[in-house]
Structure 1
Amino acid sequence: MYLGLDLGTSGIRALLVNESGMPIGEASASSDVSHPHPGWSEQDPAQWIAACEAAITELKANHGSELRAVRAIGLSGHMHGATLLDKDHKVLRPCMLWNDTRSAQEAQQLDSQDRFRTLTGNIVFPGFTAPKVDWVRVHEPDVFSQVAKILLPKDYLRLWLTGDCVSDMSDSAGTAWLDVDKRNWSGALLDACQLTEDQMPSLVEGSESSGGLRAELLSDWGIEGPVIVAGGGGDNAAAACGLGCLQAGDGFVSLGTSGVLLAATDTYAPAPEKAVHSFCHAIPNTWFQMGVTLAATDSLNWLAKICGSTPAELASALPEMPTGPSSATFLPYISGERTPHNDASPSGVFAGLSVGAEQADLTSAVMEGVAFSLKDCLNALRATGTNVTSLITTGGGTRSRFWLNTLANVLDVPLQVPAKGEFGAALGAARLGMAAVSDQALTEIMTKPEIAETIEPNTDLSDAYAARYEQFKSLYPAVKSATA
């Protein structure tokens, strides 16, 4: 048996799979996010431990015999968090999360140094770890002076599991301290932030062992042991492993809290000028390129809150098949944007509203706006030479048939919808655990899911969506100019 632990922003998911990779049990537990000031997003790392304990307790109660047979654990987690520890591994302050944008000024200052883009292959975004820690250096010098280790969220969970400070390449690539080509910490980039490699975790590939589960936990969880804990991966790299996106051109589009369009590559081909993320994959000698829109289902959640409704109720009011672009256009930058604008300032807007606009018009405009933002991501990846001809779909937003069909029409790419089953980051984490103790080839472990159907673009609507996309692209500079 193998266990995947996926640490998300809102909680943790534990997934048990057998030697064939089939899920046989799962459990989850929630965590809270704090927003003490505008632009701040924090969590107490103690919640991650408590959530993991709760999930394992549930698994033990419902699948005790299977849990007892676990041989390896893989980890997945939300990226870019800054978990600061003192010399005794005590947490010094709440973890600053991926969607914390307070360090925009520090990010700009670091990004102005050519060496960051040259060595990391990425813009230094405010959401990355390095500018967050630099913010602490400037604004909380007493905390900064005590920092002995800096861990990413899933790696703090690993510290509790194994007692070791270790990270993997994919997650570490999102810190802005990793030489992404050489897959190692960069002394020059750490020095630029007044840090040293001693303050970083050691590095392993995601499919390698990072240590063993502590004896105390083996006893508490009722596992015979020994149990290897694999390096694991950042959430999107782990999701790629769960979807079998390992080889050049393999890709997926995710409609989650944020929207992601990712394609694997077998070479390192950065394009920071396009605001494309170029990160190490969770498996050796592989990278991926990724475009990100910061508010995908979050945009629908926002609209539902404003309307006094729920996202599901809003989505259910729409037909399965769109007949063309919405009567309004929505710019989904309510939390700022990554690709292609690298703008931390919120600038969401509805355009083209009339007195006859109804709630359903706003809902379809929101879904369409997110699709157009993902079109920006697709174009940015293609501009780097990455060939994307079809995409596997994942994420909660894909439950809406209207949204899926709109996305296919806007991207003008066939979308492969997996059959009902498990194929996300938790499965990818379990597969990485399996790889750490198996002699099987990675491609045999990390297979693609069974595809239930392929959604083809409606070519009769191509011109209409292409014209609306041009209008969409014109909104951002107009809004920035009006609000400058």
Structure 2
Amino acid sequence: MFLGLDLGTSGLRASLVDEAGRIVDTTEASYPVAHPHSGWSEQDPADWIAACQGTMAALRRTQPKAFAALRGIGLSGQMHGATLLGADDKVLRPCILWNDTRAHDEAAALDALPDVRRLSGNIVFPGFTAPKLLWVAAHEPDVFSAVAKVLLPKDYLRLWLTGTHVSEMSDAAGTSWMDTGARAWSGTLLEAGQMRAEQMPDLVEGSAVSGRLRADLAAELGLAGSVAVAGGGGDNAAAACGVGALAEGAGFVSLGTSGVLLAARDRYAPAPETALHTFCHAVPETWYQMGVILAATDSLNWHARITGHKPAALSAELGTAIGAPGSLRFLPYLSGERTPHNDSAIRGAFAGLDIATERADMTRAVMEGVAFALTDSLEALKATGARLDRLLAIGGGSKSPYWVELLATVFGLPIDLPAQGDYGAALGAARLAMVAVTGAKPAEVMTPPPVARTVAPRADLTPAYREAYQGFRALYPALKAVT
């Protein structure tokens, strides 16, 4: 048996998976996020440990025989968080999370330094780890001077499980301290961020063994044999392992709170000027690129809150098949935007409101706006030479037939909908543990899920949607000029 632990922003998901890759049982535990000031987002790492203890105890209770056969644990988690440890491995302050924006000035200053984008392969976003430490240096110098190690969230969980300071390539690539092409910490980037090599954890590949479960913890859990803990992966890399997106041409579109368009890459081809993220994958000699929009289903949720209707009801008003694009445009920049604009200050807008505009017209515009914003990411990926033959759709928004057909048509790509099941980051983490323990090839373990159906682009509507997309693109500079 193998255990995948996915340490998310709002909770930890634990999936027990058998050697055939089937999920035997899954459980979750939640924990709070603190926002002590506007733009701040923090978490107590002790809550992660409590959630891990609780989920493992629950699986042991509900699946005693299966849990006792545990051979490996894989870790996935929210990226970019700064967990600061003193010389005694005690936490020095609450972890500063990925969605914390306090370090915007430090990020801009770091991004402007020579070689930072070239070596890291990415723009330095305020949510990345390196600018957070520069903020701590400027505003909490006593804490900064006491830092002995900096760990990403899932790697703090690993420290509790194994007693080792280890990270892996996919998560480390999001710190702005790593040479993402060389898959190693960069002395130049560490110096730029006022950090030292000894403050970094060791690095392993995500599909390699990073350590062993502590003997006292194994005994407490009733585990007799040695249990390996794999390197694991950042949440999107682990999700890609969960859906089998490992090789060039494979990718997925995720319609969650935010929107992600991810493409696996066989080579390193950074394009930081596009605001694409270029990170190491969780398997060796592989990378991935992804575009991120900050409000995907969040845009529809906002529209639902304003209109007093549930998101599913709004989507149902449009039916299951798309028609011609509407004349109303929506820019889904409710919380700023990442790809391709890297603009935290921009905000959303409707353009083309008419006295005859109805609720369904606004719903259509919101869903089209999200599709067009994700198409910005697709165009950026194409510019780097990424090849996408088709996409797998995941996330809550993929339950809308209308939205999926809209995406397929705007993208000009077939979109596969997986058969019912859980193909998320916890499964990907468990798969990484399987590879670490058994030595199997990643492609043999990390296979795509069964496809329930494929949604083809509407060729009769593609030209109209391409024209509408060009109109959408023209609106950003106009909006920027007045906001």
Q: TM-score, normalised by structure 1?
A: 0.96
Secondary structure, aligned partner of 1:454: strand
The residue type equivalent to 1:83 in the other structure is T
Aligned to 2:200: 200
Aligned to 2:441: 441
The residue type equivalent to 2:336 in the other structure is G
The residue type equivalent to 2:66 in the other structure is E
Superposition deviation, residue 224 in structure 1: 2.3
Distance (Å, rounded) in 2 between the aligned partners of 1:90 and 1:311: 44
Q: Structure 1 residues 326, 62: CA separation in 2 closer, same or farther (over 3 Å shift)?
A: farther
Superposition deviation, residue 309 in structure 1: 4.2
Q: Retained in 2: the 8 A contact 1:126–1:344?
A: no
Q: Retained in 2: the 8 A contact 1:260–1:293?
A: yes
Residue 296, structure 1, aligned to residue 296, structure 2? yes
Superposition deviation, residue 257 in structure 1: 2.1
Distance (Å, rounded) in 2 between the aligned partners of 1:64 and 1:98: 36
Superposition deviation, residue 144 in structure 1: 1.4
Aligned to 2:177: 177
Aligned to 1:227: 227
Q: Matches of residues 69-88 of structure 1 in structure 2 within 5 Å?
A: 69-88=69-88
Instruction: Give CA-to-partner distance per residue, 1:55-112, whole Å, 9 cap, x none.
Output: 2222122111111111000011111111112222222222222222221211111111
Aligned to 1:106: 106
Aligned to 1:354: 354
Distance (Å, rounded) in 1 between the aligned partners of 2:455 and 2:374: 17
Q: Structure 1 residues 144, 279: CA separation in 2 closer, same or farther (over 3 Å shift)?
A: same
Q: Retained in 1: the 8 A contact 2:177–2:193?
A: no
The residue type equivalent to 2:233 in the other structure is G
Distance (Å, rounded) in 2 between the aligned partners of 1:356 and 1:50: 54
Residue 386, structure 1, aligned to residue 421, structure 2? no
Secondary structure, aligned partner of 2:264: strand
Aligned to 2:191: 191
Aligned to 2:377: 377
Instruction: Give CA-to-partner distance per residue, 1:148-191, whole Å, 9 cap, x none.
Output: 11111111111111111110000000001001111110111111
Distance (Å, rounded) in 2 between the aligned partners of 1:409 and 1:467: 12
Residue identity over aligned pairs, in percent, reads 60
Distance (Å, rounded) in 2 between the aligned partners of 1:276 and 1:460: 31
Aligned to 2:266: 266
Distance (Å, rounded) in 1 between the aligned partners of 2:326 and 2:34: 35
Q: Structure 1 residues 215, 302: CA separation in 2 closer, same or farther (over 3 Å shift)?
A: farther
Superposition deviation, residue 425 in structure 1: 1.0
Bigger CA drift: 290-299 or 323-332?
323-332
Aligned to 2:135: 135
Q: Retained in 2: the 8 A contact 1:136–1:144?
A: yes
Superposition deviation, residue 275 in structure 1: 1.3
Q: Retained in 2: the 8 A contact 1:327–1:352?
A: yes
Distance (Å, rounded) in 2 between the aligned partners of 1:131 and 1:240: 27
- Which blocks of at least 5 consecutive residues in structure 2 are unaligned? none
Secondary structure, aligned partner of 1:241: helix
Secondary structure, aligned partner of 2:63: helix
Q: Retained in 1: the 8 A contact 2:434–2:440?
A: no
Secondary structure, aligned partner of 1:114: coil
Instruction: Give CA-to-partner distance per residue, 1:112-170, whole Å, 9 cap, x none.
Output: 11211111111111121111211121122222122111111111111111111110000
Q: TM-score, normalised by structure 2?
A: 0.97
Secondary structure, aligned partner of 1:339: coil
Residue 306, structure 1, aligned to residue 306, structure 2? yes
Distance (Å, rounded) in 2 between the aligned partners of 1:462 and 1:347: 28
Bigger CA drift: 350-359 or 458-467?
350-359
Distance (Å, rounded) in 2 between the aligned partners of 1:420 and 1:387: 27
Aligned to 1:162: 162
Aligned to 1:215: 215
Aligned to 1:477: 477
Q: Structure 1 residues 57, 66: CA separation in 2 closer, same or farther (over 3 Å shift)?
A: same
Q: Structure 1 residues 59, 359: CA separation in 2 closer, same or farther (over 3 Å shift)?
A: farther
Distance (Å, rounded) in 2 between the aligned partners of 1:311 and 1:50: 34
Q: Retained in 1: the 8 A contact 2:7–2:77?
A: yes
The residue type equivalent to 1:81 in the other structure is G
Q: Structure 1 residues 463, 218: CA separation in 2 closer, same or farther (over 3 Å shift)?
A: same
The residue type equivalent to 1:165 in the other structure is H
Bigger CA drift: 96-105 or 360-369?
360-369
Distance (Å, rounded) in 2 between the aligned partners of 1:459 and 1:34: 48
Distance (Å, rounded) in 2 between the aligned partners of 1:105 and 1:171: 23
Superposition deviation, residue 263 in structure 1: 1.1
Distance (Å, rounded) in 1 between the aligned partners of 2:146 and 2:206: 29
Distance (Å, rounded) in 2 between the aligned partners of 1:200 and 1:295: 33
Aligned to 1:368: 368
Superposition deviation, residue 327 in structure 1: 4.4
Superposition deviation, residue 356 in structure 1: 3.3
Superposition deviation, residue 342 in structure 1: 1.0
Secondary structure, aligned partner of 1:459: coil
Secondary structure, aligned partner of 2:108: helix
Aligned to 1:343: 343
Q: Structure 1 residues 355, 53: CA separation in 2 closer, same or farther (over 3 Å shift)?
A: farther
Aligned to 1:48: 48
Q: Retained in 1: the 8 A contact 2:244–2:448?
A: yes
Superposition deviation, residue 265 in structure 1: 1.3
Q: Structure 1 residues 98, 409: CA separation in 2 closer, same or farther (over 3 Å shift)?
A: same
Distance (Å, rounded) in 2 between the aligned partners of 1:161 and 1:305: 42
Between the two proteins, the alignment pairs up a number of residues equal to 483
Superposition deviation, residue 216 in structure 1: 2.7
Aligned to 1:24: 24
